[in-house]
Amino acid sequence: MTRTRLTATERSEQLVGAAITAFAAGGYAGTTTDEIARLGQVSQPYVIRLFGTKQRLFIAGFEQAADRIEQAFREAEATDLQGLGAAYGELLEQRELLGMLLHGFAASFEEEIGKVVRARFGGIYTLIRALTGADEREATDFLATGILLTVLASIRVIGPDAVPAEPWMAGLANSLPENCG
């Protein structure tokens, strides 16, 4: 069996995908470039040659996750928050996306990561307002609900792989806006 040679751009995209998988599972501090190299089926020095540092690779993974959210919102062609909520609901099934987002927020204590996370979060907020005409309070409530849904899906309270509900879970899930979870 022969392997198809990938361009540097294709290999970079492949490694960002491998990085998202690894970082979603192990977080920024708990993941090594060696693990990412194994997942991407390349050598660890090649990972460093392409990205320079683990931090840059982590940022590339977070950027891709944010890009996927923005793309889903744009493709929804929604003019209201309910339409954007439905688009985000589909993303909640992508476990690695959720993990990358949550680990991005957690790793924001690293200044370079924090700058990117804040900028991308602000960009999503701005996009929500531009697409829907939502005011500041409505956009803030939408984001707050989205983060809650991200956490609930990550801990498997909601979603296709939800664990059996405990009373507190049912109460929380029942208080969510319609079509959430």
pLDDT in tens, 64-80: 999 999 999 999 988 89
Q: Is the pLDDT of residue 3 over 80?
A: no
Structure confidence at residue 178 (pLDDT): 64
Using the 8-state DSSP alphabet, how is residue 43 labeled?
-
Q: Check if the beta carbon of residue 160 is closer than 8 Å to that of residue 93.
A: yes
Q: How confident is the model at residue 175 (pLDDT cuts 50, 70, 90)?
A: confident
Q: What is the mean pLDDT of residues 84-95?
A: 93
Q: How many CB atoms are located within 10 Å of the residue 114 CB?
A: 14
pLDDT digits (tens, 9 = 90+) for 23-53: 999 999 999 999 999 999 999 999 999 999 9
Tokens of 181: 């979870």
Asked whether the whole model's pTM tops 0.85, one would answer yes
pLDDT band at 2 (very low <50, low <70, confident <90, very high): low
R_g of the chain computed on alpha carbons: 18
Task: Look at the block and give the residue holding tokens 């899906």.
Answer: 153
- Across 68-148, the runs of DSSP E, i.e. the strands, are none
Tell me how long the chain is: 181
Reported for 51-54, long-range contacts at CB under 8 A and 24+ positions apart, including other chains, are 51/12, 51/15, 54/28
Burial class (CB in 10 A: 0-12, 13-18, 19+), 105: middle
